[in-house]
Amino acid sequence: MKKNILSFIALFTALALILVACGNQPTATPATVDAVSPNQVVAEGRLEPIRGANLSFQARGVVEEVLVGDGNSVKQGDVLIRLTNAGGAEAQVVIAQNAYDTLLRNESGDRAKLWQVYMNAQIARGNAEKKWDDLNVDDIETNIEDDKAIVEDRQQDLKDRQEDFDKYKDLEEDNYKRTNAENALEQAQDDLNRAIRELEKDTRERDEVRAAYDAALAIEAEAKHQYEISLDGPNADQLALAKANLDAAKDTLSNYVITAPFDGIVADVNVKVGEQVTAETRAISIADFSAWTIETTDITELEVVKLSEGQTVKIVPDALPDLAINGTITEISQAYTQQGGDILYTVRIAVTDADPRLKWGMTVETTFQ
């Protein structure tokens, strides 16, 4: 709009000068008009906070509680307004949160137990390994070979005694030859049994230590495996389900409760306790006024090609014509809109020196240097 006004003033001044010259009137000094350089672009824009949001409920209901007022500071996640039917949804969130937290606590406790089992298994494996390392396996295996040789001798002795006994077994039981052969056979059997026991004892001395070591290795490997599984969550499916239930409960609650999406200031509360609201009702507006930004509304395709990100901008609010502030282009839209036959592009400007008198939604004139 201001671009058209300036053009009209310049045209009107030029026509006045021509008329004065034609009428042979004395030349008068015209009023100074700030001319717009051909290299400058002048556009209108609207002042916006760096972040702003108009918030509504996602469900129909009656306002039960308004917890903030205009100008209040809020933190992200603060409850701002509640509907009367929010209580049931809040209870479901509490139940789902408790279930999820319980699973997390149990998971942590189970993991700690599995870690302790793994540590104990390492200690047991270390002890078994030391016993095996301390064992003189070469001497034991030499003894085993000797024992095997003795067993073979005793087996041969037993065979010989059996053959002797077979010669006299049909004689009377009190026959001295039969009796002597039978006693020799029994002694040979006892000698063989004794030799076998000695072989087994020496073999156990080696094999029991080795078996204990192998068992300790297996127990340690299994304990490690179970602990590593716990790192990914032994109750992963249960946790995933509990988390899904919690998220669903929170989504349901968000239909009946409005919370602050970011830190900011309450700009406007548009509902009161007892009022019936719908999803179309704007309930509250909040903004982050720590910084300002401007979006232009009328930059044409012929003008946008003269602009670039980082370019400086002079800004004058329509409501404060004596105030000139500075800004910088932060973004030039790649998309366009069409209005009255003109192709328009939105340019976003960061205000670099704000003024406390600035208000959300003010129209401004922007001059791109």
- CATH number for the domain that contains residue 67: 2.40.30.170
**pLDDT for res 232:** 66
- The count of domains in the chain is 3
**pLDDT for res 33:** 38
Residue 182 falls inside a structural domain: yes
Instruction: For residue 15, name the pLDDT band (cuts at 50, 70, 90).
Output: very low
**pLDDT for res 8:** 46
Residue 255 one-letter amino acid? N
What average pLDDT does range 290-297 have in this prediction?
Answer: 93
Report the alpha-carbon distance of residue 232 to residue 241 in Å, rounded. 15
**pLDDT for res 233:** 55
**pLDDT for res 113:** 78
Residue 250 falls inside a structural domain: no
In this structure, the answer to whether residues 104 and 228 fall within a common structural domain is: yes
Residue 249 falls inside a structural domain: no
Residue 78 falls inside a structural domain: yes
Which of the residue ranges 19-23, 231-235, 277-281 would you say has the lowest mean pLDDT? Answer: 19-23
**pLDDT for res 177:** 87
DSSP string, 56-73: --SS-EEEEEE---TT-E
- Please provide the average confidence, as pLDDT, over all residues in the chain: 84
More confident residue, 33 or 227: 227
Q: Shortest CA distance to 344 belongs to which of 306, 301, 305, 302?
A: 301
Residue 226 falls inside a structural domain: yes
* Boundary-marking domain end, from 204, 234, 264: 234
Instruction: For residue 36, name the pLDDT band (cuts at 50, 70, 90).
Output: low
What average pLDDT does range 38-50 have in this prediction?
Answer: 89
**pLDDT for res 95:** 86
In this structure, the answer to whether residues 206 and 303 fall within a common structural domain is: no
What average pLDDT does range 5-21 have in this prediction?
Answer: 46
Instruction: For residue 39, name the pLDDT band (cuts at 50, 70, 90).
Output: confident
pLDDT of 94 over the 90 cut: no
Question: Which residues, at least 6 apart from 109, have a Cβ–Cβ distance to it below 8 Å?
Answer: none
Instruction: For residue 242, name the pLDDT band (cuts at 50, 70, 90).
Output: confident
Give the CA distances from residue 159 to residues 162, 164, 217, 223, 240, in Å, rounded to whole numbers and listed in that order: 5, 9, 44, 52, 73
**pLDDT for res 150:** 94
pLDDT of 23 over the 60 cut: no
Range of the domain at 140: 95-234
Instruction: For residue 2, name the pLDDT band (cuts at 50, 70, 90).
Output: very low
Which of the residue ranges 109-123, 145-159, 233-247, 266-280 would you say has the lowest mean pLDDT? Answer: 233-247
Q: Where would I find the H helices in 169-273?
A: 176-231, 236-254
In this structure, the answer to whether residues 56 and 15 fall within a common structural domain is: no
High-pLDDT (> 90) share of the chain, %: 47
Which of the residue ranges 33-37, 104-108, 196-200, 328-332 would you say has the lowest mean pLDDT? Answer: 33-37
Question: Is the pTM here over 0.85, yes or no?
Answer: no
**pLDDT for res 109:** 67
Residue 251 falls inside a structural domain: no
In this structure, the answer to whether residues 264 and 342 fall within a common structural domain is: yes
**pLDDT for res 285:** 94
In this structure, the answer to whether residues 230 and 100 fall within a common structural domain is: yes
What average pLDDT does range 178-197 have in this prediction?
Answer: 92
In this structure, the answer to whether residues 18 and 46 fall within a common structural domain is: no
Residue 156 falls inside a structural domain: yes
In this structure, the answer to whether residues 73 and 30 fall within a common structural domain is: no
94 sits in the region (left: phi over 0; alpha: psi -120 to 50; else beta) called: alpha
pLDDT of 284 over the 90 cut: yes
In this structure, the answer to whether residues 135 and 154 fall within a common structural domain is: yes
More confident residue, 225 or 29: 225
Residue 246 falls inside a structural domain: no
Question: Which residues, at least 6 apart from 289, have a Cβ–Cβ distance to it below 8 Å?
Answer: 49, 50, 264, 265, 360
High-pLDDT (> 70) share of the chain, %: 86
Assess contact for 79 and 334: CB atoms under 8 A.
no
Instruction: For residue 9, name the pLDDT band (cuts at 50, 70, 90).
Output: very low
In this structure, the answer to whether residues 101 and 230 fall within a common structural domain is: yes
In this structure, the answer to whether residues 26 and 44 fall within a common structural domain is: no
Give the CA distances from residue 339 to residues 16, 62, 103, 112, 299, in Å, rounded to whole numbers and listed in that order: 33, 41, 58, 67, 11
Report the alpha-carbon distance of residue 180 to residue 79 in Å, rounded. 107
Taking CA 316 as the corner, what is the angle to CA 49 and CA 322, rounded to the nearest 5 degrees? 120
Instruction: For residue 106, name the pLDDT band (cuts at 50, 70, 90).
Output: low
Assess contact for 111 and 230: CB atoms under 8 A.
yes
In this structure, the answer to whether residues 120 and 142 fall within a common structural domain is: yes
What average pLDDT does range 304-317 have in this prediction?
Answer: 94
pLDDT of 41 over the 70 cut: yes
In this structure, the answer to whether residues 30 and 41 fall within a common structural domain is: no
